[in-house]
Structure 1
Amino acid sequence: MINKFALLLLIAMGLASCKSSQSSKNKNNMVQLEQNTTTTWQLIELNGEEIKAGDQKPVRFTLDVNNRVYGFTGCNNFNGNFSLDKNYALSFSPLATTRMACPDAKINEQQVLDVFNQSKFYTLEGDWLFLKNSQDNLLAKFKKIEQQEQIVEKYWKLKELNGKKIEMQPNQDKEIYFMLKTDENRLTAYGGCNTIGGSFELKTGQRIDFSKLMSTMRMCEEDISKIETEFFKVFDTADNYSITGDRLTLNVGRRAPLAVFEAVYF
């Protein structure tokens, strides 16, 4: 009887050892998120159900090189911080969100926020990211978005123009900025006095083309008018861009940046 019990114990231990060894082997082969890159992820599946946003802006979030997270819930924008380690742990700080009411939203915003509140671990398989809770249960599935799409739907505040730092003037209504809207590929910008509108096209190799540019014709103070004229020329001249986290430059060829911008989140 003792021999039989000992044999069963040895078999159980052997199976556990094999399982542990196999689990360790699989874990070692898993791909990890990189902390020195900025990556955007789009929601594909939430609580086991496929997400179809239709004609609405998709739910996305971005992990940047400064351990900041920001994104869109289907109704509001959000931002915060995240923590990542080599044991496939991924958690988020309490997120700050805008407070828009969206009665026509097709996705339950609270369920999206719950994913980030409950996230503890992740699995990365190619371009697919799986967020899991503390019990290792799947919360949501995301797909990696190409880098060129990270430039759109953001508020870009002007920081430098032709190598000179830009500060908001006392007689300005608001700061100089621009946005690229995905609906109809629209450009909207403010130069300190006038607004400008137009179209844009993103191309491979981080190339960009602005066209159909038109601006309002308000009379401006001389100091603002000079900066505004130079700012609007950027959109006439720029043919490529570079983006690292919250920093964007618009360039022409391989010369020094025409303008440097910083992303602002509300």
Structure 2
Amino acid sequence: MKMKCLYVAVAAAVLSLAACRSSKDAVSVNDLDGEWNVVEIQGQAVQAESQPFIGFDAQDGRVYGYTGCNRLMGALTLSKPNKIELGQMASTLMACPDMETERLMLNALASVRSLEVSGKELLLYSGGKKPVMRLQKRFEVVPLSSLNGDWKVVAVNGTALPAMENVPAFSLDMTTHRIGGNSGCNRLSGEIRHDAAVENSISFANVASTRMACPDMDTENQVLSALNQVCAYGMLANGHLALMAEGSTVVLELERSK
């Protein structure tokens, strides 16, 4: 996906992922491209408040990701089968309460030499028989028409919504390109836009709402703010719809209304 973010360069490194399988079993661009959650590092399950991930974009020649604290970006070159070169790595410089997952992730990446795709998993190796990182597809890109219908908001900016009487919910009409629904207090409506050059792009424009005052407006304000940031979508493994802001940050998680 083509998203523009500001990154601060902190290092330049080149990592080589050497091929260890035959060209017949080579990992293809289609196998590799996309975003992958980091679910295991050095045999240990990742348990982070914010899910780290790595994204590969062969067409634009770039790799990017999130360590659970900071954003990463670098150049990506594909040459021989199963061989990748990552260069000019850059990162934001935020300090977080827990930097351990980030440290483990960066150390593991620096040791990677080969890779393989096993089912829905991408395995990265440093030369031994056990992978140093295990990745799983972050989301699936589905046709825009698949988004048609009614959805309720289950999480905003990674935080699950508390039990509430009027749950924020959207109705997406992909034929008329309109969004309707409520944000927790007020009714809303607006336009759905899609950039044909970017497969999973989606954004919402000219969103208007009624102006009722409710006892608790915090959830509504968060939902509306998140909605204005959306520029992409993806279907999560649990069947939920992820609406993402620039940098692949999931700002809204939606579940089909029954």
CA contact (8 A) 2:40 2:134 kept: yes
Give, as a single letter, the amino acid of the residue that structure 2 aligns with 1:138.
P
Give, as a single letter, the amino acid of the residue that structure 2 aligns with 1:70.
Y
Deviation at 1:82, TM superposition (A): 1.9
Report the RMSD for the aligned CA atoms in angstroms.
4.8
- Residues 110-165 of structure 1 show CA distances to partners (whole Å, capped at 9, x for unaligned) of 2211233232321111211011225676220101122359xxxxxxxxxxxxxxxx
CA contact (8 A) 2:36 2:136 kept: yes
Q: Secondary structure at the match of 2:27?
A: coil
Residue 109 of structure 1 corresponds to which residue in structure 2? 102
Residue 92 of structure 1 corresponds to which residue in structure 2? 86
- The reply to whether residue 78 of structure 1 matches residue 31 of structure 2 is no
Give, as a single letter, the amino acid of the residue that structure 2 aligns with 1:248.
S
CA contact (8 A) 1:91 1:120 kept: no
Larger radius of gyration: 1
- The reply to whether residue 183 of structure 1 matches residue 142 of structure 2 is no
Residue 66 of structure 1 corresponds to which residue in structure 2? 60
Which range moved further: 58-67 or 140-149?
Answer: 140-149
| TM-score, with structure 2 as normaliser | 0.50
Residue 212 of structure 1 corresponds to which residue in structure 2? 182
User: C-alpha separation between the residues in 2 aligned to 1:74 and 1:101?
Assistant: 11
Give, as a single letter, the amino acid of the residue that structure 1 aligns with 2:84.
L
| TM-score, with structure 1 as normaliser | 0.49
- The reply to whether residue 44 of structure 1 matches residue 39 of structure 2 is yes
Q: Which of the pair has the greater relative contact order for Cα pairs under 8 Å at 6+ separation?
A: 2
Gap regions ≥5 residues in structure 1: 1-23, 150-179, 186-197, 215-232, 253-259
User: C-alpha separation between the residues in 2 aligned to 1:80 and 1:103?
Assistant: 25
The structure that is helix-richer by fraction is 1
- The reply to whether residue 126 of structure 1 matches residue 126 of structure 2 is no
Going from structure 1 to structure 2, the CA distance change for 1:248 and 1:89 (only over 3 Å counts) comes to: same
Going from structure 1 to structure 2, the CA distance change for 1:137 and 1:104 (only over 3 Å counts) comes to: closer
